[in-house]
Amino acid sequence: MTTAVYFDLDFTLLQYTDDFEAIFGRAIPDAPDGAYERYVEELIDAFGRLSATPHRDGIDAVLSEFDVGIATDVAVQRYYQSELDATTVPAQTRSALERVATHHPTGILTNGAPKMQRAKVEGHELDSVVDAVVVSNDPDVAARKPAGEIFAAAEDALPADEYVYVGDDYDEDIVGARRAGWDALHVGDDGPEDARRVASVDDAVARIV
């Protein structure tokens, strides 16, 4: 009997050293007042309509509505680099991921933009550890947690008898996985207390392996 293990990416495998406004500020320095808020508004809308390029959509909105002397392609590349630079994978998390991957088919299942999420997965060399990376706004997936379709896409990517998901966001990760018939271990502190809440990815892996 095979159990595949999927992990959420942001705030589960990856931690952030900066907030998103600071990340944006490094991509577009000296942005006018209101530019960041406009960016976030467009970004959220783009995620919701399943755009494959939400950051570009957000930056396009800013560059067309505000006087910012920078080309879209340059700003988008800078944004990707800035967000990547603001992420870390704690050593314990990496070794836990490596440990589970030696025993189980292992993947990453994330809500996000395909280019951005893959840049972080590859930038931290997690692609060589896991067997599959499933990203919501990839046109081949086109579904966001907690929707059942993204969990179905993850099952297609890693055939197994049973699935476990490890994530930090109760409503998206834990509720979504359980509705899809998966076991779920919650590394966050939102949502109700339950017996499947764990303190860390390391603790989650200790329960799985």
Span 145-204, contacts to Mg ion by CB under 5 A: 168-169
Which is closer to Mg ion, CB of 11 or CB of 20?
11
d(CA 163, CA 155): 8
| CA–CA distances in Å: residue 209 to residues 9, 100, 105, 151, 204 | 20, 6, 12, 21, 9
Assess 8 for contact with Mg ion (CB under 5 A): yes
Which is closer to Mg ion, CB of 78 or CB of 178?
178
Assess 116 for contact with Mg ion (CB under 5 A): no
Assess 110 for contact with Mg ion (CB under 5 A): no
Assess 20 for contact with Mg ion (CB under 5 A): no
The one-letter code for the residue type at 84 is L
- In the chain, which ranges are E strands? 3-7, 15-16, 87-88, 106-110, 132-135, 162-167, 183-186
Which is closer to Mg ion, CB of 58 or CB of 167?
167
Q: How many CB atoms lie within 10 A of CB 82?
A: 19
Assess 10 for contact with Mg ion (CB under 5 A): yes
Which is closer to Mg ion, CB of 75 or CB of 83?
83
**Shortest Cβ distance from residue 167 to Mg ion (Å)?**
6
Q: Which of 3, 11, 16, 18 touches Mg ion by CB under 5 A?
A: 11
> What are the tokens at 187?
């590394």
By the criterion CB under 5 A, which residues form the site for Mg ion?
A: 8, 10-11, 168-169
